[in-house]
Structure 1
Amino acid sequence: MRIPDFKLERYFARWEFSAPYLLCTSDIEGWRMADLLALADPEARARWESLTLGYTESTGLPALREAIAGLYPGVAAEQVLTFAGAEEAVFVLVNVLLGAGDHAVVTWPGYQSLYEVARATGAEVTLLPLREEDGWALDMDAVRRALRPNTRLMVVNFPHNPTGSLPEPAVFEELCALAEERGVYLLSDEVYRLLELAPARTLPAAVERTARGVSLGVMSKAFGLAGLRVGWLACRDAELLRRCAAYKDYTTICNSAPSEVLALIALRAREQVLARSRAILEENLKRLDAFFARHAETFRWVRPRAGSVAFPRLLRDMPVATFCQELVEREGVLLLPGDVYEFPGNHFRMGLGRTQLPEALARLERFCEATFR
């Protein structure tokens, strides 16, 4: 397999652990171990204290799969397969489904692995641009036009990274119906699901709406537990999951035993975990509303409807890559230029989920006032 460098990850490799203010990360502030363990029910606490550090079941701890299935009405534990993060899940599923002569349609801008892994299998990929002038909405007519007789996979990501967009329920239902109609698998990257700014707007998961739907989840985003590296696929196609489990034998084989138990603790206490995440986002969005109102001549943004990221645009006559480079060098504040997505328009990704956002935003404001006065 030949695959290009992952531009976002190479960018983070350079700056993530040296820049003191991360204003572009897509996850929620990580939990401290003691605080997470304090949420454990007696059974999960006993699992933790008696844990031995051996191999785990390749499909995932049964109790963990049951807890994950509980996120999806009507889905059983055996319809869930765990992975070492969402990245591995994408890699495995796409390699199982696609090869030379196949075609995939993928929303864009987006996480690079959602389309580059498909290309690396030999499949053709059509990128489906979301447009700022449309509020980053999904255009179903464009989806239909992109489909071909050899299309095997549609890939969408809602709530969307990096724009924070969320389709209307009717649009998502139409997407699921289209997958059924055309016999195409629908990989629905739902890692930001449950971070809707209005919880009543939470969409059903793809696995709930169609037998062709594959829902991708992870502990990293909504749950603030990126360090666990626990992700999953939920799917009603037993044969597809069997093939993914067999492919996983060539990647990680199984998950980390401590990570599985810690993920179980968080999922069993998910209302408390999610309440913390939403509270962080709510406070940070208030600050960002005021910031962008003060700097309307410098930035334009479509306020996110869900998730923990946004994709503002720099309006000044400066390349966004230069803007981000000078910002991190002068103020220690890291933003992610839209160049890493190869997406035009001087956009940059801003993360909403870290508790250091007020300090980072103050430094960004100082930088803008000095640079554009």
Structure 2
Amino acid sequence: MRRLPEFALESYFARWEFTARHHLCPSDMQSMTLGELLALATPDQREAWDQLWLGYTETRGAPALRAAIAGTYDGPQGGLTADDVLVTVGAEEGIFLALQALLGPDDHAVVLTPTYQSLESVTASLCAVTGVLLEPAPDAAGGWALDPDRLAASLRPNTRAILLNLPHNPTGYLPTRAVFDAVVDIARSRGIWILSDEVYRGLERRPEDRLPAIAEAYERGLSIGVLSKAYGLPGLRLGWLACRDRDLLRRIERLKDYTTICSPAPSEALGVIALGARDRILARNQALIAANLPLLEAFFARHADRFEWQAPAAGCIAYPRYRGAEGVEAFTADVVERSGVLLLPASVYRSTLGPVPADRFRIGFGRTKTPSALAALEAHLAAA
């Protein structure tokens, strides 16, 4: 494994996330207090919390938590069970361990670009990688498109894995079911694994557009989930891998012995409560997005000379284009330094696999403070 590069997005957040007055690019939904989460517990869940033993937990994850996670899947091959789930500390550990288990120096992998950096960087540290660019598509729902033929053309005889990120970070892209099925068919025809980062699943604008999890749809599919994004509970640091290949999960479990060994017992107990209240939490978060998106639509309509915008198909982030002559890097730097409004410039999504859009920025709209942050951005533009 080669040395990993600096994580550009996390470095940028380390500088600004906790000092900027207005966070207008969060990747997660509005969180809640411990008291609010405990109020969602059943009597049995509350008793389990009150009597929690603060010892080590199972490396694979508490059985009750794995069963709750499995219950969120219901694919055409039948639902998953607790034995098809491995709990991780956040989604990042899941990405890191799964790629370690799947890939070696003689392999090749394909990844969508732009993407969350670890999907590209960790893969590139292990094997050869080809990027397949998501194309801007103003006439398509969500404003972006994936060409399955281009993905198929990128494969090599030694391609072992295709890395997806759907719903997509940072664009909010969600393919049609036909495109999704075409990608699965391409992988199945060659016995290629699909690792799919699905942390925004559950935040589709239209429920009928929700895609199956890859672990449901494909026998060589490995789904990554987390409580951080769609559920708005990043402080729990709980993620998971779901897969029907239990031998692969066992290999990943043994790799976990070298990282976190096990998840925190309090987080696991709280995770059971959150998943038990899944429908209520996701409904709350969908309502918050529905309230914030019209504000963004109106804002970008007022400033169509400066921005190009199309609402994403899913998730709580989008990737609008900046039209200003000074460029998006100068614009985002000026906004945060003078007005305290944090946006993520395109440079944090740069890729070593080929050109990606350099005139975009990430905006987030899953928080209750989105209206005040947007008002601060409007004031900045008025004063410029």
| TM bucket, shorter chain | over 0.9
CA distance in 2 between counterparts of 1:263 and 1:21 reads 29
Matched residue SS, 1:155: strand
- Which letter does structure 1 place at the counterpart of 2:383? A
TM-score by length of 1: 0.98
1:153 touches 1:185 (CA, 8 Å); kept in 2?
Answer: yes
Aligned residue runs from structure 1 range 53-64, under 5 A: 53-64=54-65
Query: Cα deviations across residues 262-299 of structure 1 (Å, max 9, x unaligned)?
Result: 11101001011101111111111010011111111110
Q: Does 2:127 align with 1:114?
A: no
1:106 touches 1:156 (CA, 8 Å); kept in 2?
Answer: yes
User: Matched residues, percent identical?
Assistant: 54
- Which letter does structure 1 place at the counterpart of 2:93? E
Match of 1:361 among 356, 365, 374: 374
Displacement of 1:170:
1.2
* Structure 2 residue ranges without an equivalent (≥5): 351-355
Q: Who is 1:4 aligned against?
A: 5
Displacement of 1:344:
2.9
CA distance in 1 between counterparts of 2:71 and 2:33 reads 24
- Which letter does structure 2 place at the counterpart of 1:12? F
Displacement of 1:140:
0.3
Q: Who is 1:164 aligned against?
A: 172
* Structure 1 residue ranges without an equivalent (≥5): none
1:132 touches 1:302 (CA, 8 Å); kept in 2?
Answer: no
Which one is further off, 2-11 or 165-174? 165-174
CA distance in 1 between counterparts of 2:288 and 2:217 reads 30
TM-score by length of 2: 0.95
Q: Who is 1:125 aligned against?
A: 129
Matched residue SS, 2:194: strand
Q: Who is 1:199 aligned against?
A: 207
- Which letter does structure 1 place at the counterpart of 2:369? Q
Which one is further off, 130-139 or 149-158? 130-139
Displacement of 1:195:
0.2
- Which letter does structure 1 place at the counterpart of 2:135? R
Matched residue SS, 2:137: helix
CA distance in 1 between counterparts of 2:221 and 2:214 reads 5
Q: Who is 1:45 aligned against?
A: 46
Q: Who is 1:348 aligned against?
A: 361
CA distance in 2 between counterparts of 1:228 and 1:284 reads 25
CA distance in 2 between counterparts of 1:24 and 1:196 reads 18
The count of aligned residue pairs is 370
Aligned residue runs from structure 1 range 284-363, under 5 A: 284-342=292-350, 343-363=356-376
Displacement of 1:64:
0.5
Q: Who is 2:288 aligned against?
A: 280
Q: Who is 1:90 aligned against?
A: 95
Query: Cα deviations across residues 111-147 of structure 1 (Å, max 9, x unaligned)?
Result: 00001001112x0111111111363111101110011
- Which letter does structure 1 place at the counterpart of 2:362? R
Which one is further off, 56-65 or 173-182? 173-182
Q: Who is 2:353 aligned against?
A: none
2:347 touches 2:358 (CA, 8 Å); kept in 1?
Answer: no
